Amino acid sequence: MLVDERRKKIKEILLQDKSVKVSELVRYFNVSEETIRRDLNELEKEGLIKKNYGGAVLVEELQNAIMAIPPVQQRKFEFSNEKDAIGRAAAGLIADKNTVILDAGSTTWSVSRHLNDRQGITVVTNSVDIAQEFGKDDGAEVIVIGGKLIKKSMSLVGPQAEAELRNYNADIVFVGVSGISLSKGFTSSDIYEAEVKRAMVSAGRKRVVVADHSKFDRQGLIAFADFKDIDVLVTSDLADKDVLRAIKERGVEVIVSSVMEEAMNLPITH
């Protein structure tokens, strides 16, 4: 097994069990104790674990972040005005007849809600919710990639999804994030979703991240893209301006939508 594959598997074990023991990993991978300790040293440098006597534990910050992620249906209602503003701005990047890849998530779902006037677009997605949203639209061709269903996010992930994505060369790709860190880049709190996001980024000519203000200066478990891998970040005017300036300096175009303007466009209810 290659080093990267072994470390990926160790991350999977950490994600599930929150801790690992050197002796168990030695038996599992049939490698030396020295090899496993080198692996753990690298994961500690990435800020993912804290080593202890005989093994390591997932850092508390990441454990809390994983536990705090609500189901996607609930996330749709968190910062809903902001996400709708981001979705509207991001949709403006899509032209008629484009092939679009849409990642699973509440903010990418908000993008899908603003595409009903596009003609002849092809949408490729791993999201059950986004596919359902486009089921209302006769103007779009929808392709749902296969894989294992993660019910918390209603996303399809795994080797099958990654393999299918390699067949596409999309005009534009939209991915969501668990966190954006100036030191780690764009991250996800699920290792399986991170691999699919990485495959999506590789499949697009224009790569776009959509993120509400709560995602900034937050680190997920796995980095799936660096700043050099992303062309555009679409966010809102609630995001930290100093962080956005630093992201621009790293070569990413930043589009800032107005939450106040979006709120003014909402219908009045009594």
DSSP 12-67: HHHHHHSEEEHHHHHHHHT--HHHHHHHHHHHHHTTSEEEETTEEEE-HHHHHHHH
Residues 13 and 101 grouped into a single domain? no
* Domain annotation covers residue 169: yes
In this structure, are 54 and 85 located in the same domain? no
| 129 in the same domain as 49 | no
Whether residues 103 and 49 share a domain: the answer is: no
pLDDT of residue 150: 84
Res 32: pLDDT: 93
Q: Establish if 67 belongs to a structural domain.
A: no
Structural domain containing residue 189: 72-264
Q: Is residue 66 part of a domain?
A: no
Same domain as 227, residue 166: yes
Q: What is the pLDDT of residue 98?
A: 97
Q: Is 10 in the same domain as 85? A: no
Residue at 104 is within a domain: yes
Question: Are residues 237 and 189 located together in one domain of the fold?
Answer: yes
- Does residue 269 lie within any of the structural domains? no
Considering the domain architecture, whether residues 76 and 52 belong to the same structural domain is answered as: no
pLDDT at site 75: 46
Is residue 216 located within the same domain as residue 187? yes
Are residue 150 and residue 36 in the same domain, yes or no? no
For position 85, what pLDDT does the model report?
A: 94
pLDDT tens per residue across all 270 residues of the chain: 678 788 878 887 887 788 899 999 999 999 999 999 999 998 888 777 889 889 998 877 666 665 555 555 444 445 788 999 999 999 999 999 999 999 999 999 999 999 988 999 999 999 998 998 888 767 789 999 999 888 877 889 989 999 999 999 999 999 999 999 898 899 998 888 999 999 999 999 999 999 999 999 677 778 899 999 999 999 999 999 999 999 999 999 999 999 865 444 444 333
CATH number of the domain within which 188 lies: 3.40.50.1360
Q: Which of 105, 85, 99 is nearest to 256 (CA)?
A: 85
For position 65, what pLDDT does the model report?
A: 60
Query: Is residue 121 in a domain?
Result: yes
DSSP letter assigned to residue 267 = P
Considering the domain architecture, whether residues 120 and 166 belong to the same structural domain is answered as: yes
pLDDT for position 74: 45
- Count up the domains in the chain and report the number: 2
CATH code of the domain covering residue 9? 1.10.10.10
Phi–psi pair at 73, nearest 5 degrees: -65, -35
